Structure 1
Amino acid sequence: MTISAQGLEIRIGARQLLAPTDFHVSVGDRIGLVGRNGAGKTTLTRVITGEMLPAAGKVSYSGKLGYLPQDTHVADPEQSALDRIMSARDIASIVSRLRKAERDMTNPDPDIMEKAMKRYDKAMQDFENADGYSAQSDATIMAESLGISQEVLPRQLGTLSGGQRRRIELARILFSDADTLILDEPTNHLDADSIEWLKKYLKSYEGGFLVISHSTELLGETVNKVWHLDAQRAQIDMYSMGWAAYLKQRVVDEERRRREREVAQKKAERLMKQGIRLHAKATKAVAAQNMMRRAEKLLEGTEPVHKREKVADLRFPTPAPCGKTPIQAQEISKAFGSNIVFAGIDLAIDKGSRVVILGYNGAGKTTTLRILAGEETPDTGEVVYGHGAKIGYFAQEHDTLDNDATLLENLQHVAPELDDTQARTILGSFLFSGDDVNKPTRVLSGGEKTRLALATLVTSKANVLLLDEPTNNLDPASRDEILAAISKYEGAIVLVTHDEGAVQALNPERVLLLPDGDEDLWNDSYLDLVALE
């Protein structure tokens, strides 16, 4: 399969993300698409896959395309995890027939039950003819390689954590037998073992793929081409080389552009001066104009020197006053159906305390934060909020944002006292300016949604921050900014993360281990568990 783009131009409002460009993704191409947050990487993948229309040009492809978007949405919360993975292949329609026949076989009406049994026999025959058992085994193995146990596969998607759903979606795309893969941040929510497995899978993948990732380790071991989407020039710089060679060549190219610009500017200045002198003589007016035009063309023909890319100016505010213990969880438990996630958890969050929650994927880390934030109700026990408690919750799936509202409306919902000018100033410090603030939130990339969610936290004046994977989708510079903000924040923080750097920035006092609910004083031996969750 190949993907081919001709004259592709991408715009969001008046802003040009990509000037008219041609490119191809062929069999054997392993492309890393990089660039700063907000450059338009995710938007480009949406255009390639047909989710968005370009401003001009077209994209065509042959064969089967597998697309992992940055945000995972559950279309059917009652669908099982295994059925979701199996749905990537043509065998999915047979599985759907089997499931419907199974439900109808329990109908008390004997005629309906008898017909359902015949339909079940026919569907099972089709399933066996399509080598369904082998496909189901392949799907199970792939899911386990990505950290989804066999116990999770029969469960409904609506009962799973965001991290589990994300890994199921990745397993589904890889299981699809696609000829070309488009993967947007595939390592999000993966533990160290799963990332190792993914790297090996991509290295042996026979088709083509284009991957967006902030994991330099993944890029370094898997890609043979690098496309750099330059936000300032709205162009893709295409390098037919691996990651390490690209990093060196990028420095060389930036230096070359700088030198070319300097030489052109000096020549243009000389021509301009000569043109101004000649312009004073009436007989030399035409020659003067020609010199000035030559000077302008010299500057037009050079690329601007690459400016240092901006990062969000992130500073958590001084927290609002509160009592000694702003949050206390007492004997809380949570189950989804027959699956008990955790039981009998006690946790007191004192003023200014720092707690990290560790546990394997699906152990209930996100659920615990949602309960502490009041977004979800425990099955037993209660959460007691102390005097003056003001909670700021950062959700890994950006659930706290209203996708139908604009950026401006989302910020003013959290801080209604802000007028438009004040809200625009805050959004500007998070790199949203001009007409960007009036965009619907749903069109933002994962990194942009992260910045917007952080902006809402900054305006909330919270004295307790509940942070669920706050460094996901961020480029290195933006990640450094949030780690610095975490280290300086004076209020209490409860953190869930796979990022060892985030834990080190937090410098936690205590650790809560799930699902058992054991609490311990922090020591660095627990750091080894962070990436292994």
Structure 2
Amino acid sequence: MIVTQDLEVRVGARTLLNAPGQHLRVQPGDRIGLVGRNGAGKTTTMRILSGETEPYGGQVVRSGEIGYLPQDSKEGDIDQSARDRILSARGLDQLRSSMDRQQELMESGTDAQRDAAIGKYSRLEERYSALGGYEADSEAARICDGLGLPQRILDQPLKTLSGGQRRRVELAQILFAATAGSGRSQTTLLLDEPTNHLDADSIHWLRGFLQKHEGGLIMISHDVELLNDVVNKVWFLDAVRGEADVYNMTWKKYLDARSTDEARRRREKANAEKKADALRKQAAKLGAKATKAAAAKQMIARADKMIDALDEVRQEDKYAAITFPEPAPCGKTPLFAKGLTKMYGSLEVFVGVDLAIDRGSRVVVLGFNGAGKTTLLKLLAGVERTDGEGGLVSGHGLKIGYFAQEHDTIDQNATVWENAVNACPDSGEQDLRGLLGAFMFTGEQLNQPAGTLSGGEQTRLALATLVSSRANVLLLDEPTNNLDPQSREQVLNALRTYTGAVVLVTHDPGAVQALEPERVIVLPDGDEDLWSDAYMEIVELA
């Protein structure tokens, strides 16, 4: 259970949220959708509710277990196996290690060591059993299977997994901790964009898990279908008013109620303004006569009171005007890749991938999670080096613009302004301010550290830095992740109109349709083919 008291959320000088009293409350059985446009404070509020950061004002009271999946989850020990990472949710990995140690002492230790080990092993086993240790492997396997994690990767170190696979491991760990066998089925889950990197089948499985979850749930997601099927309450963060509206209803009923409420407010405002205008005009006529001055003042007061009594009409949220750069002139084939190979230790990701990126070409990279899609873009961007003898050949006039799905191109410790200056050193101050303003970064937010931005805001900042690059080859890795529907549509429009070359990695069918690809590369084999609509069936599963 989580209860806030006079919660105030700020970032720098900006007040994102004022929630007086115990306005926000999460109890077992509550499945809350936390919504609002990018920059409204959803991720910041979630961090505060989880206890990861402190609020500017007020307090958060937590009781029971909390399972928090941040939007940019960073795993700890990357040498740890995926299986141990999942089992660590209940401390079972350490218990197993301790039990193994006592087992060794019972078999090979001295008599005194053996007697002590028997007692310790008994106590450890009792604790292990109470935490559901003997059923843990099958429970973990069921969750991993549901999230599309193959059994073969569970014994691999985390450092050998792709970003998408690591994200699934983090989600599996949190869900494993909240299963019935853990004795913590009342855990409050705080999930920030849980469907990132999930395919359609995994999202379907997750939907069923969350619908059956007995504890509380707060979820930030731009997956409208998931919200519609799971949530029974909605918290809407109003970016204009800095307030949270609480709706005790399902997603569909919330959308209908909000639409009806806004229509009512607009109608009442129009009627009140019409009546108030009539009163003011009448007061103006009366005011010309000294004997009627008091009556005129009363009419004006009535008109003002009539307007003041109205419910506030919610202002429309502003959205970024997202565009891609005008590409610089280049030769026929600005970038050619030959024999790209990537290995992690003895594990082969892909071998000998060839790709010619011609001027204005449009290519989609497909493959299952872990097939190396992100790695291929990193090699093309020069962020990583090929392990084989192959390499890149830069054509005449090549200018690469790279968008990393984990926002690796952004310096998390630098401010928004410093990131823009570093990415566009040749741009003037006014041009940069105009550029950032178009992407909705103004005023004090320019001095905000990039690491404190939400995932959607970081996506906007990364896209903004591409605009001044005049890139003629864009390497885009999940560019629509973390974006609200309006901002996502802006990115899709930018894809439709961009005239340079694009190499795209995405789970978003809408992004593929907007790109209208000519070719497809299927990993890990690296096979190249002309695009056909038959490949759309794999996009969501890739």
Given candidates 355, 359, 383, the residue that maps to 2:392 is 383
Q: Structure 1's 260 and 15: CA in aligned 2 closer, same or farther, altered over 3 A?
A: farther
Report the equivalent of 1:170.
Answer: 171
Query: What CA deviation, in whole Å up to 9, does each residue of 1:32-68 have, x standing for no partner?
Result: 1111111111111112112232232221121001111
Does structure 2 retain, via aligned residues, the 8 Å contact 1:225–1:240?
Answer: yes
Instruction: Give 1:41's aligned amino acid.
Output: K
2:206 is matched with which residue?
A: 198
Preserved contact between residue 19 and residue 244 of structure 2 (Cα < 8 Å): no
SS at match of 2:481: coil
Secondary structure of 1:351's counterpart equals: coil
- 1:492 is aligned to 501
1:459 aligned residue (445, 455, 468): 468
Question: Using the alignment, how far apart are the partners of 2:323 and 2:119 within structure 1?
Answer: 63
Find the counterpart in structure 2 of residue 414 from structure 1. Answer: 423
Alignment deviations for residues 449-482 of structure 1 (CA, whole Å, 9 cap, x no partner) = 1111100111111110000001111111111111
How far 1:279 moved relative to its partner?
Answer: 6.8
Q: Residues 119 and 287 (structure 1 numbering): CA distance in 2 closer, same or farther, change over 3 Å?
A: farther
SS in 1 for 2:25: strand
Change over 3 Å in CA distance of 1:290–1:316 after alignment to 2: same
- What is the CA–CA distance in structure 2 between the aligned matches of 1:329 and 1:260, rounded to whole Å? 63
Which whole-Å CA distance do the structure 1 matches of 2:290 and 2:370 have between them? 82
Map Cα deviations across residues 286-327 of structure 1 (whole Å, 9 max, x no partner): 876666555444434434433332221122122111222222
Partner of 1:502: 511
Tell me by how many angstroms 1:404 deviates: 0.5
| SS in structure 1 at match of 2:352 | strand
Is 1:527 aligned with 2:526?
Answer: no
Letter in 1 for 2:336: Q
CA positional deviation for 1:430: 0.6
C-alpha distance in 2, partners of 1:263/1:279? 24
Contact 1:192 1:531 in 2 (8 A): yes
Confirm whether residue 10 of structure 1 aligns to residue 19 of structure 2. no
Q: CA 1:96 to 1:18, structure 2 compared with 1: closer, same or farther past 3 Å?
A: farther
**Residues 77-476 of structure 1: pairs in structure 2 closer than 5 A:** 77-95=78-96, 97=98, 126=124, 129-131=127-129, 132-177=133-178, 179-270=187-278, 272=280, 295-380=303-388, 381-476=390-485
Q: Which amino acid aligns with 1:258?
A: R
Moved more, 133-142 or 469-478: 133-142
State the distance in 2 between where 1:299 and 1:95 align. 68
What is the deviation of 1:20?
2.8
Q: What is the DSSP-based 3-state SS (H/G/I as helix, E as strand, rest coil) of the residue aligned with 1:88?
A: helix
Larger CA deviation: 290-299 vs 140-149: 290-299
Is 2:95–2:128's contact at 8 Å kept on the other side of the alignment? Answer: no
Deviation digits for residues 207-266 of structure 1 (CA, Å, limit 9, x no counterpart): 111111111110111111222222122222222221222221111011111122223334
Per-residue deviation, residues 59-114 of structure 1 (Å, max 9, x unmatched): 11210011111112132222221222122113343256579x69x99xxxx99xxx
3-state SS of paired residue (2:15): strand
Amino acid at match of 2:198: L
Over 3 Å counting, the alpha-carbon distance change for 1:121 and 1:519 in structure 2 is farther
1:10-37: CA deviation from partner (whole Å, max 9, x where unpaired) = 2223322112331211111111111111
User: Comparing 456-465 with 81-90, which one deviates more in the overlay?
Assistant: 81-90
Distance (Å, rounded) in 2 between the aligned partners of 1:40 and 1:164: 27
**Alignment match, 2:72:** 71
Provide the rounded CA distance (Å) in 1 between the counterparts of 2:52 and 2:162: 26
- Cα deviation, residue 194, structure 1: 0.3
* Structure 2 match to 1:36: 37
Secondary structure of 1:36's match?
coil
TM-score by length of 1: 0.91
Query: Structure 2: how far apart are the matches of 1:397 and 1:13?
Result: 24
**Aligned-partner residue type, residue 540 of structure 2:** A
Q: Distance in 2 between matches of 1:357 and 1:127?
A: 48
Which position in structure 2 is the counterpart of 1:51? Answer: 52
| Structure 1: runs of 5+ lacking an equivalent | none
RMSD: 2.7
Between the aligned partners of 1:445 and 1:120, the Cα distance in structure 2 is: 51
Give 5+ residue unaligned stretches, structure 2. 179-183
- 293 and 515 in structure 1: CA distance in 2 versus 1, 3 angstrom threshold: same
8 Å contact kept, 1:321–1:388: yes
Q: Note the C-alpha offset of 1:391.
A: 0.7
- Give the Cα–Cα distance (whole angstroms) in 1 for the partners of residues 456 and 507 of structure 2: 17
- Show the counterpart of 1:516: 525
2-side partners of 1:231 and 1:171: how far apart? 32
In 2, the alpha carbon distance for the partners of 1:213 and 1:287 equals 55
Identity of aligned residues (%): 56
| Cross-structure match for 2:181 | none
Q: State the alpha-carbon separation in 1 of the partners of residues 515 and 147 from structure 2.
A: 28
TM-score with structure 2 length normalisation? 0.90
Residues 40/530 of structure 1: CA separation in 2 closer, same or farther (3 Å cut)? same
Q: Residue 87 of structure 1 aligns to a residue in which SS?
A: helix
Structure 2 residue aligned with 1:478: 487
Q: Any idea what the Cα deviations from partners look like across 1:320-352, whole Å, max 9, x if unmatched?
A: 112222221211111112211111111111111
From the superposition, tell whether residues 120 and 346 of structure 1 become closer, same or farther in structure 2 (CA, over 3 Å): farther
CA distance, structure 2, for counterparts of residue 123 and residue 406 of structure 1: 53
Equivalents in 1 of 2:138, 2:220: separation in Å? 29
Q: Deviations over 1:180-205 (max 9, x none)?
A: 11111111100011001000101111
